[in-house]
């Protein structure tokens, strides 16, 4: 089961859209940003940058529990886990790495 630490913002919506489209079971755990839930010590253990979304997958790699923060990392994890909306072959994954890296470089250029 996947626990989704969530607030209704575009970054939160991204993950619910992916979970729904990939037909993955999940439980929503609301994060009240206005009340400061993101600064609670137990939340900071799974999200060191005090931001949602975060997922905790009780059935992560090797059957071990894993927590993941950063919406892009969560989307990639869910894509790989479900086999949906993610490259299946090594060749396609290399192409994804190229585009993803180029995107980061371009974003860096915009913000530097």
| Interacting residues toward ligand GSH by CB under 6 A | 9, 11, 33, 38, 50-53, 70-72
* CB nearer to ligand GSH: pick between 89 and 99: 99
Exposure b/e, 17-38, CB count within 10 A at least 16 = b: ebbeebebebeeeebebeeebb
* CB nearer to ligand GSH: pick between 92 and 100: 100
Closest contact distance (angstroms) between CB of 91 and ligand GSH is: 27
Closest contact distance (angstroms) between CB of 15 and ligand GSH is: 9
Q: Are 55 and 4 in contact (CB under 8 A)?
A: yes
Closest contact distance (angstroms) between CB of 76 and ligand GSH is: 12
* CB nearer to ligand GSH: pick between 3 and 70: 70
* Token pair belonging to 108: 């860096």
In whole angstroms, what is the distance from residue 45 CA to residue 54 CA? 11
């Amino acid at each position: 089961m996947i626990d989704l630490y969530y607030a209704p913002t575009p970054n939160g919506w991204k993950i619910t859209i992916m979970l729904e489209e990939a037909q993955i079971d999940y439980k929503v755990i609301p994060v009240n940003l206005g009340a400061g839930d993101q600064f609670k010590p137990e939340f900071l253990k799974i999200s060191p940058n005090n931001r949602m979304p975060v997922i905790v997958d009780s059935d992560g790699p090797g059957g071990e529990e894993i927590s993941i923060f950063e919406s892009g990392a969560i989307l990639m994890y869910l894509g790989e886990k479900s086999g949906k909306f993610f490259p299946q072959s090594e060749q396609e994954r290399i192409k994804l790495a190229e585009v993803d890296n180029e995107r980061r470089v371009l974003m860096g250029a915009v913000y530097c």
